Amino acid sequence: MKSISKSYRIAVIPGDGIGKEVTAEAQKVVNAAGEAYGFGVEWHPYPFGADHYLRTGEIFPDSVLGELEQCQAVLLGAIGDPRVKPGLLERGILLRLRFHYDMFVNLRPARSFPNTPLPVAIPEGKRIDTVVVRENTEDFYMGIGGEGRGSDLSFPVEISRDLYSVKGTTTLSFSPETNAAVQLGLATEEGVRRIATYACDTARRRGEKSVLLASKSNALPQIYGFWETIAGDEVRGQGLDFQVANVDALCYHLVRNPWKYNTILCPNMFGDIVSDLLAGIAGGLGVAAGANIGKGLGMFEPVHGSAPDIAGTGRANPLAAILSAGLLLFSLGETEAAAKIESAVENVLGKADKAALPAEFGGGATCSAVGDAVAAAV
């Protein structure tokens, strides 16, 4: 045990369903890492999520946005509950935080771990080791759109970001009584350049020489043709090789040859889909970690959702949340502790007799037993 030289303030939003169970285990592991590597953690829990909303009507108060800035990072469990209209909490909490703090990077590594059954056969000597660098603030996620019946469909646009603001109204005239919905996607040069730059940094850190963009300019030439032009210019300008694949074909090849892929740069919506696909190929959502990163506050969360069907049963796998907490420590500069968490997860999975594996991998260990094992290994 080292003496404690510094202390971090970390906000915790466990959220809904299994979010509560898995964040508790992630906190346990971070506390153990703090003891081993000489830092303290002051946890600041927040109750936001479905239960809080149903009890109080409150989704996420503005005042907390300022408070969170007193923290160095946010650890988030999962948001979403079948009792609440889909999208309300997701947009009101998760996306609100991503946008408010301009967390323009969604980093989602997908690796194969020992004893995690894979749905595809991997050739001897190969392993899956990819990372999705997902743009996290633009594309079809901006919330620009509307729905209506009539001849004029008109919806206001008001967006304020660190990089730019957009204000106005979009009006479309339909033939009378057409029932329609519209959702607009947006890409800006600065938005694409900064995430392409992050993808280049990621590729270099991993010792790679190229970045692959998931695109779809054959069908959506305006927005994704723009992406290819700007991202291509940025990546080549940084001396790396720039590759492009249409996202549909990419999904096909990812399923068949996942070990051939490294750093994959994605616009927001494709990144959402491709990261779930890769999680499914590389051992499941139970080990898929994620980080939302910007210039300021970062937020760390597993790729999985709230899994209400298994909430409270002890069957949740906390490893994705634990690995996300590892990414959190990495972002704080605690690189040794972060690496230790990752290797502890590898060791626990590698050594585990069947009974000690998470239920998801056919084992008998409860969520908290898995957390205990990783904390002990750290």
**Minimum distance from CB of 292 to ligand IPM (Å)?**
9
Burial of 57 (0-12, 13-18, 19+ CB in 10 A): exposed
Tell me if 47 sits within 8 A of 111, measured CB to CB. Answer: no
Stretch that binds ligand IPM, among 87-95, 118-126, 243-251, 331-339 (CB under 6 A): 87-95
| Residue number of the CB atom closest to Mn ion | 272
Counting contacts by CB under 6 A, is residue 16 touching ligand IPM? no
Counting contacts by CB under 5 A, is residue 135 touching Mn ion? no
The residue (of 50 and 279) whose beta carbon lies closer to Mn ion is 279
Strands 298-300 and 291-293: antiparallel
Tell me if 14 sits within 8 A of 325, measured CB to CB. Answer: no
Which letter does DSSP use for residue 4 in this model?
Answer: P
Stretch that binds ligand IPM, among 34-42, 90-98, 318-326, 345-353 (CB under 6 A): 90-98
Q: Locate the DSSP E strands across the chain.
A: 6-15, 39-45, 73-78, 105-111, 129-135, 139-160, 165-186, 210-215, 241-246, 263-266, 291-293, 298-300
The residue (of 77 and 283) whose beta carbon lies closer to ligand IPM is 77
CB under 5 to 8 A by kind: which of ligand IPM, Mn ion, none does 139 bind?
Answer: none
The residue (of 90 and 372) whose beta carbon lies closer to ligand IPM is 90
CB under 5 to 8 A by kind: which of ligand IPM, Mn ion, none does 240 bind?
Answer: none
How is the chain split among helix, strand and coil, in percent rounded to 5? 40, 30, 30
Per-residue exposure over 132-169, b if at least 16 CB sit within 10 Å of its own CB, e if not: bbbbbbbbbbbebebebeeeebebebebebeeeeeeee
Q: Quick one: which of 30, 95, 348, 370 contacts ligand IPM (CB under 6 A)?
A: 95
C-alpha angle 122-126-129 in degrees, rounded to nearest 5: 95
The residue (of 11 and 303) whose beta carbon lies closer to ligand IPM is 303
Counting contacts by CB under 6 A, is residue 186 touching ligand IPM? no
Counting contacts by CB under 6 A, is residue 201 touching ligand IPM? no
Q: Quick one: which of 81, 139, 272, 334 contacts ligand IPM (CB under 6 A)?
A: 272
Q: Quick one: which of 9, 31, 36, 90 contacts ligand IPM (CB under 6 A)?
A: 90
Task: Using the structure block, give the residue that is written with the tokens 């904390």.
Answer: 375
Residues 267-296 close enough to bind Mn ion by CB under 5 A: 272
Counting contacts by CB under 6 A, is residue 94 touching ligand IPM? yes
Which letter does DSSP use for residue 129 in this model?
Answer: E
Question: What CA–CA distance (Å, rounded) separates 203 from 214?
Answer: 15
Residues that bind ligand IPM (CB under 6 A): 90, 94-95, 272
Residues binding Mn ion (CB under 5 A) = 272
